[in-house]
Amino acid sequence: MMNSTGSAATFIDTLVSRADAHPWAIKLAAMVFVAGLTAAAAQVSVPLPFTAVPFTLQPMMVLVAGLVLGSKLALGSQILYLFAGTIGLPVFAPSPLLPPGALRLIGPTGGYLVAYPIAAWVVGRLAERGLDRRYITSFLAMLAGLLIVYGFGALWLAFFAQSLVQTPPLGLHAALIAGVYPFVVADLLKIVAAAGISPMLWRLVGSDTR
């Protein structure tokens, strides 16, 4: 099924088309709900002794948002999440090592956080091309988003975050050791599990997944 823009309808598009409520009310509620889920996922935070970057469930939630909401709403949900954090709401991962509020965006994990809206948008665009309908294509779409998160996070950690506290930059190799390599296996397992969510939702609404 195609939406008004000629792209494949996303799950939220299909849900809206079958609901009696105003379309924008549903979309706004979905965007706020997903921002809340991202904040909840951030609270599942495991600090690691060798890095300031904690292990969280946030990346999985960001990527699922893209698949289910499509590009614009997924982008909006993550911008809303970041806005809530910058004004001081307790939505970022709890950590004694990371700065609070808006300062979190220029701390060691700032690159990952800034990447969330971009990754959500990219995964959403792939969903709008029908990649959210099957497990393997959902996995590949989520993998593309995860690479964006890793890329932004590692580059920020390597060349910018440390200089903000007047210490030498880590460099790319050290940033990969601190901010990518320890998380790869766990994050891949998370998207292996989460890639089935969107196809399952499509089956629940009885839509053709071809």
Read off the CATH number of the domain in which 19 is found.
Answer: 1.10.1760.20
Residue 168 lies in a domain: yes
Residue 206 lies in a domain: no
Domain membership of residue 94 as a residue range: 11-199
Residue 117 lies in a domain: yes
- What is the count of structural domains for the chain? 1
pTM equals 0.90
**Which segments of the chain does DSSP mark as H helices, in order?**
11-17, 23-43, 58-69, 71-86, 110-127, 135-159, 172-179, 184-194, 197-204
pLDDT tens, 116-155?
999 999 999 999 999 999 999 999 999 999 999 999 999 9
Residue 95 lies in a domain: yes
The pLDDT of 29-47, averaged and rounded, is: 95
Residue 3 lies in a domain: no
Whether residue 38 contacts residue 116, with contact meaning beta carbons closer than 8 Å, is answered with yes
pLDDT tens, 47-64?
888 888 899 999 999 999
Contacts for 162-171 with beta carbons within 8 Å, 24 or more apart? 162/108, 164/106, 164/107
Residue 6 lies in a domain: no
Residue 205 lies in a domain: no
Q: How far is CA 10 from the centre of its chain?
A: 17
